[in-house]
Amino acid sequence: MDNPFFILLVGVAVVIGMIIGLRINAFIALITAALVVSFMAPGEIADKVSRVASAFGGTAGGIGIVIALAAVIGKCLMDSGAADRIVQTFVKCLGEKRSPLALSGSGFVLSIPVFFDTVFYLLVPLARSLFRSTKKNYLLYVLSITAGAAVTHSLVPPTPGPLLMAQQLGVDLGYMIGVGALVGLPAAAVGLLFASWLNKRMPIEMRPLAGDQEEETSSDSKSLPGLFVSLLPILLPVALIGANTALETRANGERAAQVQPAQVQNIDGLYAAVGEAEDAPLSVIKKVLPPKADATPETVAAALNSSLTSREAFETGKNLSRANLAIVEHVNRDAIEGALPAGVLEEHTWETPKRKAANISKVYGDANFALLLSAIIAVLLYVRQCRPNKKEFSGMLEHSLMSGGLIILITAAGGAFGAMLGAAKIGPAIEGMFPTSTEGAGVGLLILAFGISSLLKIAQGSTTVAVITASGMIAAMTDGMTLSFHPVYLATAIGGGGLVGSWMNDSGFWIFSKMGGLTEAESLKSWTPLLCVLGITAFVMSIVLSLVLPLA
């Protein structure tokens, strides 16, 4: 009854049976499956229902505002003619045959600083407007966005998954960005070719989105807004979020919490304080300090720094499992300073000028705030171009928010379903399937990394969770081991695995399906195989580069 794989099988059967077999709304099916899995999973009986609601609320809280605002932006771009202006420029500059390349390239670049979900929300109106111009290749257009955006979301920092993979595997961020892009480019190219092949065998017409009555219009180019103002609602959030990422990466690169030899003020006092310590944090640093006879400010600082990266040992009470390494060091340094007597270790300065700039940028670089500014500009553009009366203006907002509301419900329900699979301990069960030894490492280790990540992705749906979990496992397996290639290739293999097997427990699947106007069956025949192609190509590229360009 409580076997994780049996629970997974039941959950999958409920989702597929209700959606495809009984044609029941995806929101109802996913919530039902989440409840079924929750009742079968371990836990207090009183929490069986409430934890589904909590997971649903957590997912909705994370993506609800962004989806709603992006729906407004998309509607305004379409109704104001801004999307038409951008598409006409694409076609004019690249030619109609190269429009999929433009969409894929845009997705590839935009998804580096911005989440895949947001990039898809912002670009799918362009695909819809392009179909209105060309009257063909709609599936190719939406898959082109996916081919570019999904790859960088999984492989290139600063998105959370690749960023934490780099930290857990000890990969320099510059290597992760460079090699991630190097692996991702051919993967996106192959994905684009596959999308073109699939489009010829699976012609799909564009459909109105749920809650949205979209009229086909033929806009005179002279009445359309200018290119810059048309692009501004798309570029502004990218610029704001990207600037925040750059400033935060710059601040984290200082590693301001690391101990400098000059900050070790009293070695005798330090050893006296840790001598009888039994509790963290002093018991932790006691284990890493050199013998007192060998202690110098340099050796003590190096020993303390080696302990600062621990995410759990200091028992700070804070969840640091996904925190940036600089933040982990800061929290642990605070704990050490609080436990030591005054005058032993100089307090570190965290609020440096770079950190202050990063803190300010967190406000305007927050996705919710950036999308709000973008929505305001998009609405003003709509008002300027369309001159609506109050009833028309209100109706436009209501239609767009109704469309976004349905997507929020389905996406959050998918998140709840994935969370309940996590509560069923499917992750540890998959982890137990793999040996912990590293015998036969090399290409075999890359295969293992890819396989673990793929299974985790298929089982629980989230690419970020899959790659973070898999990288933690692989990091433990390879600890202290000398590899024949740079560990960045382990990260890219894991990232490729995180793309494979996306289906109904993945919020991205529902975003593609509902925002793209495809049925669930059509999405399973297009989105799912495309992401498999992207992931497998990234994996193959990881193997090839590890052999011809090991960087070791």
DSSP for 470-497, written as a single string: HHHHHHHHTTT---SS-THHHHHHHHHH
pLDDT at 430: 63
pLDDT reported for residue 212: 53
pLDDT-based confidence at 297, cuts 50/70/90? very high
At residue 211, the pLDDT reads 53
Question: How many other C-beta atoms lie within 10 A of the C-beta of residue 414?
Answer: 29
Pair 269, 341: CB distance under 8 Å: yes
Q: Is the pLDDT of residue 433 over 70?
A: no
Distance (Å, whole) CA 503 – CA 528? 6
Mean pLDDT of 178-194: 95
> Is residue 194 pLDDT above 50, yes or no?
yes
Burial (0-12, 13-18, 19+ Cβ within 10 Å), 358: buried
> Which amino acid is present at 109?
V
264 three-state secondary structure: strand
**pLDDT over 70 at 210, yes or no:** no
Q: Prior bond to 160 cis, omega within 30?
A: no
pLDDT for residue 531: 97
| pLDDT tens digits, one per residue of 279-293 | 888 888 888 999 989
Point out the least confidently predicted range of 2-6, 227-231, 381-385.
Answer: 2-6
Q: Is the pLDDT of residue 216 over 70?
A: no
Task: Give the phi and the psi of residue 345 in degrees, each rounded to 5.
Answer: -135, 125
Q: Which residue has the higher pLDDT, 183 or 245?
A: 183
Q: Mean pLDDT check: name the lowest of 169-183, 348-362, 439-453.
A: 439-453
Structure tokens at 481: 């081991």
Q: Which of 116-120, 128-132, 468-472, 482-486 has the lowest mean pLDDT?
A: 468-472
| 289 vs 113, residue with greater confidence | 289
- The residue among 186, 190, 195 whose CA lies nearest residue 100 is 195
pLDDT (mean) for 482-498: 91
Q: Give the pLDDT score at 147.
A: 96
Residue 317 in this model has a pLDDT that exceeds 70: yes
The alpha-helical segments, DSSP class H, found in 425-519 are 426-431, 443-460, 463-477, 488-497, 507-516
Kindly tell me if the per-residue pLDDT of 497 is higher than 90. Answer: yes
Dihedral angle, C-alpha 426, 428, 433, 436, nearest 10 °: 160
CA-CA distance, 509 to 398, in Å (whole number)?
Answer: 25
Cβ pair 334, 326 in contact under 8 A: no
Mean pLDDT value of segment 470-476: 77
What local confidence, expressed as pLDDT, does residue 382 receive?
94
Confidence of residue 185 (pLDDT cuts 50, 70, 90): very high
With CA atoms as reference, report the closest residue to 514 among 78, 203, 119, 71.
71
C-beta separation of 175 from 150 below 8 A: no
Q: Which among 459, 543, 528 is positioned nearest to 494, based on CA atoms?
A: 543
pLDDT (mean) for 106-134: 82
Q: What is the value of pTM for the model shown?
A: 0.70
- Alpha-carbon distance 155 to 101, whole Å? 20
> Quick one: how far is CA 283 from the chain centroid?
36
Q: Which of 9, 74, 33, 22 is nearest to 410 (CA)?
A: 33
Mean pLDDT of the chain: 85
Q: Residue 466: its pLDDT value, please?
A: 81
pLDDT band, residue 138 (cuts 50/70/90): very high
pLDDT at 330: 92
Please compute the mean of the pLDDT values over residues 185-202 and round it to a whole number: 95
The DSSP-derived string for 31-81 is HHHHHHHHHHSSS-GGGTTHHHHHHHHHHHHHHHHHHHHHHHHHHHHHHHT
Q: What share of the chain in percent tops pLDDT 90?
A: 37
Peptide bond into 158 cis (omega under 30): yes
Residue 460: pLDDT over 80: no
Query: Which pLDDT does position 429 carry in this prediction?
Result: 74
Please say if the pLDDT value at position 263 is more than 70.
yes
**pLDDT (mean) for 407-430:** 79
pLDDT (0 to 100) of residue 90: 72
* pLDDT at residue 439, as a whole number: 44
Q: What percent of the chain has pLDDT over 70?
A: 91
Q: Which tokens belong to 450?
A: 């890819």
Instruction: Say if residue 187's pLDDT is above 90.
Output: yes
pLDDT for 438 equals 45
Please compute the mean of the pLDDT values over residues 198-213 and round it to a whole number: 78
DSSP characters for 120-147?
A: HHHHHHHHHHHHHHHSS-HHHHHHHHHH
Nearest 5°: the CA angle 21, 22, 26 is 95
How many residues comprise the chain?
552
**For 185, how many CA atoms within 13 A lie in the half-sphere containing its CB?**
5
pLDDT at 346: 93
pLDDT tens per residue across span 521-533:
999 999 999 999 9
Domain-wise residue ranges, the chain: 55-211+222-252+363-548, 261-351
C-alpha pair distances (Å), 524 with each of 100, 405, 421, 528, 532: 21, 23, 20, 5, 11
362: which 2 tokens? 């967190």
Indicate if the pLDDT at residue 172 is higher than 80.
Answer: no
* Residue-level pLDDT at 432: 66
Which amino acid is located at 409 in the chain?
L
Q: What pLDDT score does 239 carry?
A: 85
Q: How far is CA 147 from CA 181, 194, 327, in A?
A: 13, 9, 33
Q: Where are the beta strands (DSSP E) in 252-409?
A: none
Residue 107, pLDDT > 90, answer: no
